[in-house]
Amino acid sequence: MRMNNKAYKFTQNPFRCAMVEFHPHTIKYVKKGHPWVTEDSFTKRFPQKAHFLKGTKEKSPTSFGVFIHDPNHPKVKARLWSYASPETWGRSAFEEELLSRLIISIEKRIPKIQADIKTPIHEIRENFYLVFGESDSLPGLKIQVLSPGKVLIQYYSNFWTHFQKELLSKLSYAFKRFFPEWKEKGVDIFIQTRSQNKSIPLQKKSLSTFPKGDGKLSFLSKEFDINYQIHLGQTYDFGLYTDMSPFRSSIKEFITPDSSVLNLFSYTGAFSLFALKFGSKDVHSVDLSPKYMKWLEHNMELNPAIDSSCHHSKVSSAMNSLSGYESDNKKFNLIICDPPSTSSDGNKRSKAINSYHQLLPSMLNLLEDKGRIVLFLNTHNITFKKFFGEIESQLKLHIKSKTHKLQKLKSDNWDSPSKKGFPEGDYLKAILISPL
Ligand SMILES: C[S@@+](CC[C@H](N)C(=O)[O-])C[C@H]1O[C@@H](n2cnc3c(N)ncnc32)[C@H](O)[C@@H]1O
């Protein structure tokens, strides 16, 4: 039952749905819970103009699943929308389902968003995800609140650019229901398309049920009672990683007034400010970028209650800074290390996992007897098991007697959950090295 493009009949125009044949491997993976159809010889025959695909097996007249189609994505050509494949799949069924998924996704986060007076400060934040893509059955779509009424939508699938009007209309409805208080200051919606290799300018939109916000791209966000400067612009880095927030909260228990903290790859300083806010009197931030270090220092100024004399910044490669601290015989109680997935120290590029071969021995040298290290890896290409195994064998090389243990750093990622069977969504990994 091979079909060529001409043989397709679109069910409705411009809501275009086509029956297509999937590679047997795709069917196997989808059945196991993986929600993506990646580029292969079969995807090349998918009709370019179809927005939705119904998958079929070779020679089978019945279809399984509805998929959203993204012919222009470099790798992920379609994403699972539903296992069910109704005969009459059309615009109204899609729109109804979209609204219901948005509401479910937001509603389940509400108890955490509306923290009550008993909620500890290190769990309260203005920045949180309302929709986390595949984990919320809204594939290729992430929506996060950066501060009240400032909302960032990220398209990881170009599909959403064709259904933006529908998405914004459903969001208008959902926000009116869940965030009526935003009426006062108004709402700004910012849209980033992250599904293509080229950079696409940020779009600014408003919602029909709310007045427009002030439209500013620079504004403040409060995470755990700490102010951060957000700047939305040309790049995807706007100053605060919301997916790292749960990890910040989870290191609170390691911070005391006596703990010296080293924050390697500090970016705009979120871990450093967190450590200072929650009691550390000696925090060191290291980043290669003078621009981000300036941003960090600006963030410090935005928080007069934080004692900036307890903070030391170093514009340097992580490796050079470690050598410097070693020469000075400096010791730390907590070292946080969050390298980018590939990083350059000005000379050569290295992958985060490889950089640990060099960084870990020095970090261990700098550790107080009862000190802890938190290591992050931000890539879906390496499983947690592999990361753990790698760090475990390096640790064995460098620590002869068994003085430390390794474990997964647990975090309450209520707003950025992972999805079973979907490793691509589980990109952030954290290991805690602690004394026995
Ligand atoms: C993933 S971000 C860290 C995010 C941070 N942990 C947070 O939660 O806000 C990586 C940072 O590493 C910096 N960087 C890249 N290569 C570096 C190197 N070789 N040495 C030090 N910093 C580096 C970048 O400038 C960037 O700010």
SS (H, E, C) the chain: CCCCHHHCCCCCCCCCEEEEECCHHHHHHHHHCCCEEECCCCHHHCCCCCCEEEEECCCCCCEEEEEEECCCCCCEEEEEEECCCCCCCCHHHHHHHHHHHHHHHHHCCHHHHCCCCCCCHHHCECCEEEEEHHHHCCCCEEEEEEECCEEEEEECCCHHHHCHHHHHHHHHHHHHHHCHHHHCCCEEEEEEECCCCCCCCCEEECCCCCCECCCCCEEEEEECCEEEEEECCCCCCCCCCHHHHHHHHHCHHHCCCCCEEEEECCCCCHHHHHHHHCCCCEEEEEECCHHHHHHHHHHHHCCCCCCHHHEEEEECCHHHHHHHHHHCCCCEEEEEECCCCEEECCCCEEEHHHHHHHHHHHHHHCEEEEEEEEEEEECCCCCHHHHHHHHHHHHHHHCCCCCEEEEECCCCCCCCCCCCCCHHHCCEEEEEEEEC
- 203 CA → ligand 1 middle, Å: 27
- 359 CA → ligand 1 middle, Å: 14
Mean pLDDT in residue range 297-302: 98
What pTM does this model have?
0.93
Mean pLDDT of the chain: 92
Mean pLDDT in residue range 305-332: 98
Reading the block at residue 123, the tokens are: 């769990």
Question: Please, which residues bridge with residue 164 across strands?
Answer: none
Mean pLDDT in residue range 253-270: 97
Q: Is residue 122 pLDDT above 80, yes or no?
A: yes
What is the predicted pLDDT for the residue at 308? 96
Please work out whether the CB of residue 295 comes within 6 Å of at least one atom of ligand 1: no
What is the predicted pLDDT for the residue at 11? 45
CATH-assigned architecture of domain 241-435: 3-Layer(aba) Sandwich (3.40)
What is the predicted pLDDT for the residue at 196? 79
As assigned by CATH, the class of the 92-221 domain is alpha beta
Mean pLDDT in residue range 147-152: 98
pLDDT above 90 covers a percentage of the chain that reads: 78
Residues 6 or more apart from 131 whose CB is under 8 A from it?
Answer: 102, 105, 106, 138, 141, 142, 143
What is the predicted pLDDT for the residue at 413? 95
Residues 6 or more apart from 31 whose CB is under 8 A from it?
Answer: none
What is the Cα–Cα distance from 39 to 51, expressed in whole angstroms? 16
Mean pLDDT in residue range 268-273: 98
pLDDT above 70 covers a percentage of the chain that reads: 94
**Residue ranges covered by each domain of the chain:** 5-87, 92-221, 241-435
Mean pLDDT in residue range 112-131: 94
From the CA of 248, give the closest atom in ligand 1.
8
User: 42-51, 80-89, 295-304, 326-335: which has the minimum mean pLDDT?
Assistant: 80-89
The residue type of 217 is L
What is the predicted pLDDT for the residue at 402? 80
Question: Please, which residues bridge with residue 82 across strands?
Answer: 66
pLDDT digits (tens, 9 = 90+) for 2-59: 444 444 444 444 788 999 999 989 988 888 889 999 999 999 999 999 999 998 876 6
Distances (CA, A) of 357 to 20, 144, 361, 374: 47, 35, 7, 15
Distances (CA, A) of 421 to 35, 134, 135, 289, 296: 9, 11, 11, 36, 37
From the CA of 376, give the closest atom in ligand 1.
6
Phi, psi of 386 (to 5 degrees): -65, -45
For ligand 1, mutation pick of 249, 265, 362 (most atoms within 8 Å of CB): 265
For ligand 1, mutation pick of 261, 287, 336 (most atoms within 8 Å of CB): 287
Phi, psi of 358 (to 5 degrees): -85, -40
Distance of CA 263 to the CA centre of its chain: 20
Q: Is residue 157 pLDDT above 60, yes or no?
A: yes
- 182 CA → ligand 1 middle, Å: 34
Q: pLDDT class for 61, splitting at 50, 70, 90?
A: low
What is the predicted pLDDT for the residue at 421? 87
User: 213-227, 283-297, 390-404: which has the minimum mean pLDDT?
Assistant: 390-404
What is the predicted pLDDT for the residue at 10? 44
pLDDT digits (tens, 9 = 90+) for 73-111: 999 999 999 988 777 788 999 999 999 999 999 999 999
b/e sequence 277-296, b meaning 16+ C-beta within 10 Å: bbebbbbbbbbbeeebbebb
Phi, psi of 166 (to 5 degrees): -65, -45
pLDDT digits (tens, 9 = 90+) for 401-421: 788 899 999 999 999 999 988
Q: pLDDT class for 129, splitting at 50, 70, 90?
A: very high
Domain 5-87 has CATH 2.30.130: yes
What is the predicted pLDDT for the residue at 2? 41
Q: Is residue 235 pLDDT above 50, yes or no?
A: yes
What is the predicted pLDDT for the residue at 13? 45
